[in-house]
Structure 1
Amino acid sequence: MPQTFPLTDPLQVAARTAWGEARGEGAAGMQAVLCAGMNRVARPAWWGRDICSVFLHPWQFSCWNTNDPNRALLLTVTATDPQFQTALALAQRLVAGTLIDITRGADSYYDTRLSHAPAWVAPRLYRCTIGHHAFYRVGPSGEG
């Protein structure tokens, strides 16, 4: 099924990212993913300057990687999916600027079920764990 939304629509890009990255983590997990993106938008850097450029930056949110099996799913999910309905509601709050940061300023995360933590993980940058994702603040002013 072809993509039916523009990759320039912040609401759709954010909701599909949250769903693609954390639909198995419930509302809190999807909110946390959106918070990491929101915190990147708040501190523009190499990863982008707005919702779409941050979430779609290559190799940052793995669900958008062309080789990730979640990509085909997120491109075709519809609002009939209850988890996507939740992702859309959370993304609406992100776009409106009313999403509450539950990650303590994190801009990065990884799935704790991976066999090895990424090289960028450092205890001093740790913020919290929500579901199976550990959140860190590693970007500009990462230790702030």
Structure 2
Amino acid sequence: MLPGENMPVSDKDRDILARTLWGEARGESLNGQIAVAWTIRNRVNDGNAKSWWGEGYAGVCQKPYQFSCWNKTDPNYQFLIGVKQIPFRELAQARIAVDQVIDGKVADPTGGATHYYATTMRKPPTWAKGAKQTLTLGHHIFFKDVP
């Protein structure tokens, strides 16, 4: 068992994680969303009682400036907070990914990644320099050991 895995997971945690997956990876396959969910789980389970990443899934997902979909200026934000409706099928797929990752039904395809970025970015973020790339899947590149 990984550190932090016995932390209780609330319905709110599952909902916030699903909304984060929709905001960050709605155009990805189920496997792509699972990989993004695992980066979040890896942050949740980093072994520190009061982690820099935030506490629990909701805390990690909503940590300021970590997942851009939660920035108030992001066009996805109005969907995430319920002002606009997320399409049912898209949110349903994200919920499947959430359940598979949180319930331990799928192994971590990212090799312990705590970061990723979308290949649609014009240039890689500065944190990617010196980090270990672990996976490219869909439109995301995953990393661990970020300096």
TM-score (normalised: structure 1): 0.82
Aligned to 1:33: 36
Q: Following the alignment from structure 1 to structure 2, what is the Cα–Cα distance between the partners of residues 37 and 87?
A: 13
- Amino-acid identity (%): 35
Structure 2: unaligned runs, 5 residues or longer? 1-9
Counterpart of 1:36, as a letter, is: T
Q: Following the alignment from structure 1 to structure 2, what is the Cα–Cα distance between the partners of residues 33 and 94?
A: 10
2:62 to 56, 70, 89: 56
Aligned to 1:125: 132
* Alpha-carbon RMSD: 2.1
Q: Following the alignment from structure 1 to structure 2, what is the Cα–Cα distance between the partners of residues 83 and 28?
A: 14
Counterparts of residues 1-144 of structure 1 (less than 5 Å): 9-43=12-46, 44=48, 45-76=51-82, 77-78=85-86, 81-122=88-129, 124-138=131-145
Structure 1: unaligned runs, 5 residues or longer? 1-6
Counterpart of 2:144, as a letter, is: R
Aligned-partner SS, 2:64 = coil
Aligned-partner SS, 2:90 = helix
Q: Following the alignment from structure 2 to structure 1, what is the Cα–Cα distance between the partners of residues 77 and 145?
A: 25
Aligned-partner SS, 1:136 = strand
TM-score (normalised: structure 2): 0.81
Q: Following the alignment from structure 1 to structure 2, what is the Cα–Cα distance between the partners of residues 103 and 10?
A: 21
Alpha-carbon contact 2:131-2:144 (below 8 Å) kept: no
Higher helix proportion: 1
Q: CA deviation at 1:124?
A: 4.8
Q: Following the alignment from structure 2 to structure 1, what is the Cα–Cα distance between the partners of residues 80 and 106?
A: 22
